[in-house]
A and B are shown apart, each in its own frame.
Chain A
Amino acid sequence: EVQVVESGGGLVQPGGSLRLSCVASGFTFSSYHMNWVRQAPGKGLAWVSRVNSDGSSATYADFVKGRFTVSRDNAKNTLYLQMNSLSVEDTAVYFCASMVYGWGQGTLVTVSS
């Protein structure tokens, strides 16, 4: 059974940082691209970032470029998202997503003073 579990969300002040983690199981994690997708309250889905299977290449949405960094540890079946210079507009549920196997339940990031 495929499982994807995110953690690391919480309340952070504007300008602060947060690191999200995602542990995946039930598929060969190291063989697949992995993504982060977010959903602001009451809004639609917005892709944030993708990292290739070996972690050597990453792409980002323009609205996070230069502030967020995606990485992975294939030995631990874990995906990360380092988020810096957070603003209130980054408030959202962040989903770890395999576009082949499915998504986690999400972790809520709230940016507020």
Chain B
Amino acid sequence: DIQMTQSPSSLSASVGDRVTITCRASQSIGSSVSWYQQKPGKAPKLLMRLASRLQTGVPSRFSGSGSGTDFSLTISSLQPEDFATYYCQQTDSTPITFGQGTRLDIK
């Protein structure tokens, strides 16, 4: 199974900050990484596929990069609605696996 190691597990930041969350795969997976945002009591929202392809309707302050084993999600200027938990996911092979999540809260 491909392990996805996500860091940090939690992060405190302020509105307007730039933040980056990283994910490392246990083997090379090309660009087969997606990123999700989840708010309490809600379903995960797909933000990005194939490492850097923003889903329709997702603000451009979100960006993704990486290939092979190292990936990152960057929010360029945090907005109040961005405080949530973020997950990376690999879709290269089954079992599909997720990172353990990064909880982003207000400093």
Contact = CB atoms under 8 A, between A and B. Distances in A.
Query: Do A and B bind?
Result: yes
Interface of A: 35, 37, 44-47, 50, 59, 61-62, 95, 99-106
Interface of B: 34, 36, 42-46, 49, 55, 87, 89, 91, 94-101
Contacts of A106: 43
B49 A103 contact: no
A45 B45 CA distance: 12
Contacts, number: 46
Given A99-B34, A99-B91, A44 B98 contact: yes
B96 A47 contact: yes
B87 A44 contact: yes
Contacts of B98: 44-47
Contacts of B45: 102-103
